[in-house]
Chain A
Amino acid sequence: MIPLSWYLVLSALLFSIGLFGVLARRNAVAILLGIELMLNAVNINLASFWRYGNPAQMGGQVFAIVVFAVAAAEVAVGLALIISIYRRRKTVLAEEIDLMKW
């Protein structure tokens, strides 16, 4: 049997990788990819805590589902924004999207 810690460690690792993607990639789409990784890491946590906690309490799974919904919403809006920005400024590089400075 698999101990809970394996899942948690894996999830932590996945989260960190995602975080790195978010912080380091230049391409805005790639940032979103990183975010997806982080969300998945969270979901692994949620599912495994559900399984290893009290499986009769469905909170973990329910929140995983909510995360799905959030992820879908985030991707839809995020990509729409990126495409919109791309149309106007012909770039998807995060550092060039800095109209909001100062």
Chain B
Amino acid sequence: MATETLIWLIPLPPVLAFFLIVLFANKNKALSHTLGVGAAGLSWLASMVVFVRALSVEHLGEHPFHASVNWLPTGETWFKIGVLIDPLGAATLFFVAWTIFMIFLYSVGYHNFGQPKGDHDRPGLPPHGATVTDAHGHKHTIPSVEPMYSRFFAFLGLFAFGMYTLVVSDNLLTLFVGWEIMGLCSYLLIGFWYGKPSARNAAIKAFMTTRVGDVFMLLGIVFLYSVTGTLSFREIFTNEELMHALGTTATPVLGLSAAGLIGLLLFIGTVGKSAQWPLHVWLPDAMEGPTPVSAMIHAATMVSAGVYAVIRMFPLLSLDPATMSIVAFIGAFTALFAATIAVAQNDIKRVLAYSTISQLGYMIAALGIGAYVAAAFHLITHAFFKALLFLGSGSVIHGMEHGVLHTGNHHVDPQDMFNMGGLRKKMPITFWTFLIGGFALAGFPVVTAGFWSKDEILADAFAHGHLAVFITLAVAAFLTAFYTMRQITLTFLGEPRTEEAKHAQETPWTMTVPLIVLSVFAVTYGWVGIPEHFPLLGGLVPNWFHEFVGSTLAEHPEAVPFSPVPLLTSLGVALGGLLLGWLVYRNVKSPAEDKLQLPVLKNKWYFDEAYDFLFVKPAYWIAETLVYKWMDKGVLDGILHFIAHITGVIGAAIRNYIDLRVINETIGDGTANTVKWMGFNLRPVQTGRIQQYMLASFVVLIVVGAVLYYFLVMA
């Protein structure tokens, strides 16, 4: 099969699975997950084939796989949509395919496939467990299967479709299509347990917050389209005249050039999607969704899509330094800001959520300083280890739920890290893989992928003289290592702090296999991008990633020269942070003993409250009171009713003073009286005999006719 055809086909299996499950298989759990996982597998296979073929093509950057068809007629011309796999796309496709496939597989176990139906489970709420009686007559409470199992796979399928569409599309519009489909799916999946008000609100928050960004992004797309007449990446970026014109055309906004403004608008979309400050608020709440969802959406794919979009549009952004500064600022700020919050969170998934925001800020900051390849590199490594961490945390929660069901004490939150401790013995596979993931996140030197990608960003920042960015990111990295170690310590090390933690269990193979696979990538993927001038290790493995992804750009980015400062910094912050985290938290038993539970951090710098006060409440007020009650019901309908009233008054006046008085009494009754009088006197003429009437009329006819004839004709 031609590669282009294959690329077209990549997104299709999941969406087919979606429709098949929704329409036909929604009653059959096994069939549903077979369809879902099978579709993910097919897409994975196709992606791998495409990836391998992409590797074997020389100068893929100049001659990418590309095909397009007419889609929208626009005046005299057609708007085309198509697929494109260039080096960046291929690299993205690689990690997307892997993570998606793994998450599909993981979901089977996570939703307790094969377990009995719950006693009181109902759709829309997490399963509560089922009571079974074993051979000895003992009653056990064991996890029960998710009631909306099929639906979950359907949504995941649709989501995968969106992500694949985004990756393979050759233009901003279809990218946006995939982007929004993922937005919908994230809404549906965060609100998967819609019966919980918190999940329902989180879903809406996620959708609306990202939609703020999307609206700006749509404007950016429209702007770009209006200016260039196309949305195809290649047609825009390979057209040097056009790029030059874009870079020099001034706009009235902030003194930015057209390219800068477009880039900024598109970037705001990313801010929403990748949960950057100030639109970061949705992502922690989104942890209400099932854990595979968190892994899928909030670590590996959807939030990465935001960064991917910025990487895609990098040539445009880089035309305007002002925009780049904004991007760098937001990225760096977010990285630090989110890291500070993560330190004070007790929910195992929320820590990861803030860490995700922070890491995404890293990538954005990298882009802002022009470190194109480094950003892409960190994007990919982060996707692997963060998906691993999320899945691992899901595994932990799952294990804890076992304990909760065992003890029957449902007041214990299985996600609170202070309820855990010592899980490394109960859940060894989970522990080791989580450890790998955590070290990768912290940037544990040399062995983990995270180290290489993070180091490259720091090196870039340092080498290009962005010292402020460099320092901010370094501090953020330190905090990252610190809270990562805090998490590992609280969760796995030490002794179990609760009864539930003692009865935690290792999870089934469908959950652990993805963990193992992802942990492999979390380690090895770093090796494809080792800088060539790195001491000792440089050059052992060629810096393939830099060459490959860098070739996407027309101007090949130079690898930065080696400098010991960033290397030492990253070594220092990673190891220092890890060590400090372990030291501080190895003996902490309860939240009260945690010195870092500062209210301002605990409450996320009060952003939710501020937004509620600044935007949500006023919006409600504008909608309900200002627009509806005052404007529509009050002013507009008031005017209408006033006019109606005036009309009524005029009508009544006409009736009372003209109709009744003048017309009825004077003219009407007067005439009637006259007629009555005449009729009374002329009455005897009416004999009631028809023939006499006729006789009379003929007499008149003849007389009048004769007279007329005489005067008109004869005379």
Contact = CB atoms under 8 A, between A and B. Distances in A.
Direct contact between A and B in the complex (CB less than 8 angstroms)? yes
Interface of A: 19, 22-24, 31, 94-95, 97-102
A94 B691 contact: yes
A22 B688 CA distance: 16
A22 B689 CA distance: 12
A95 B689 CA distance: 6
A46 B686 CA distance: 35
Given A24-B691, A31-B690, 4 more contacts: A23-B694, A23-B698, A99-B688, A101-B689
Contact of A98 (B683, B684, B687, B694): B687
Contact of B686 (A94, A95, A102): A102
Nearest to B683: A102
Contacts of A23: 691, 694-695, 698
Interface in B234-289: none
Contacts of B686: 100-102
Nearest to B684: A102
A69 B575 CA distance: 113
The 6 tightest CB contacts between A and B, nearest first, are A101-B688, A98-B688, A100-B688, A102-B683, A101-B687, A98-B689
Contacts of B695: 23
A93 B109 CA distance: 107
B690 A94 contact: yes
Interface in B643-696: 683-684, 686-691, 694-695
12 contacts: A22-B691, A22-B694, A23-B691, A24-B691, A94-B690, A95-B689, A95-B691, A98-B688, A98-B689, A100-B686, A101-B689, A102-B683
Nearest to A98: B688
Interface string B694-706: 1100100000000
A99 to B, nearest CB: 6
A101 B692 CA distance: 12
A94 B689 contact: yes
Interface of B: 683-684, 686-691, 694-695, 698
Contacts of B691: 22-24, 31, 94-95
A69 to B, nearest CB: 23
B31 to A, nearest CB: 76
Contacts of B683: 102
Contacts of A94: 689-691
A102 B116 CA distance: 101
A38 to B, nearest CB: 11
Contacts of B689: 94-95, 98, 101
B529 to A, nearest CB: 99
A50 B243 CA distance: 87
B174 to A, nearest CB: 70
Contacts of A100: 686, 688
B688 A102 contact: yes
A82 to B, nearest CB: 12
A24 B689 CA distance: 12
A64 to B, nearest CB: 23
B580 to A, nearest CB: 112
Nearest to A99: B688
Nearest to B695: A23
B372 to A, nearest CB: 90
Contacts of A19: 698
Nearest to A24: B691
Contacts of B684: 102
A22 B691 CA distance: 7
B139 to A, nearest CB: 95
A22 B695 CA distance: 9
Nearest to A25: B691
Contacts of A97: 688, 690
Contacts of B687: 98, 101
B703 to A, nearest CB: 16
A16 B690 CA distance: 18
Nearest to B690: A94
Contacts of B690: 31, 94, 97
A52 B585 CA distance: 125
A95 B694 CA distance: 13
A100 B686 CA distance: 8
A19 B691 CA distance: 10
Contacts of B694: 22-23
A38 B465 CA distance: 119
A101 B686 CA distance: 5
A23 to B, nearest CB: 6
Contacts of B698: 19, 23
A34 to B, nearest CB: 10
B119 to A, nearest CB: 85
Among B684, B689, B694, find the residue whose CB has the most chain A CB atoms closer than 10 A. B689
A74 B688 CA distance: 20
A102 B698 CA distance: 21
A3 B174 CA distance: 91
A19 B690 CA distance: 13
A16 B383 CA distance: 113
A99 B689 CA distance: 9
B571 to A, nearest CB: 111
A91 to B, nearest CB: 13
A97 B691 CA distance: 11
A19 B172 CA distance: 94
A98 B694 CA distance: 14
Contacts of A95: 689, 691
Nearest to A22: B694
B212 to A, nearest CB: 76
A4 to B, nearest CB: 20
A101 B687 CA distance: 5
A48 B689 CA distance: 35
Contacts of A101: 686-689
Contacts of A24: 691
Contacts of B688: 97-102
A22 B698 CA distance: 12
A100 B695 CA distance: 17
A53 B384 CA distance: 103
A12 B52 CA distance: 111
A98 B691 CA distance: 11
A97 B687 CA distance: 10
A22 B683 CA distance: 24
A98 B689 CA distance: 6
A94 to B, nearest CB: 6
B688 to A, nearest CB: 3
A102 to B, nearest CB: 5
A30 B683 CA distance: 28
A95 B695 CA distance: 13
A86 to B, nearest CB: 16
A95 B690 CA distance: 8
Residue from the set B683, B684, B691, B695 with the largest chain A CB neighbour count within 10 Å:
B691
A95 B692 CA distance: 9
A23 B702 CA distance: 15
B259 to A, nearest CB: 80
A97 B698 CA distance: 21
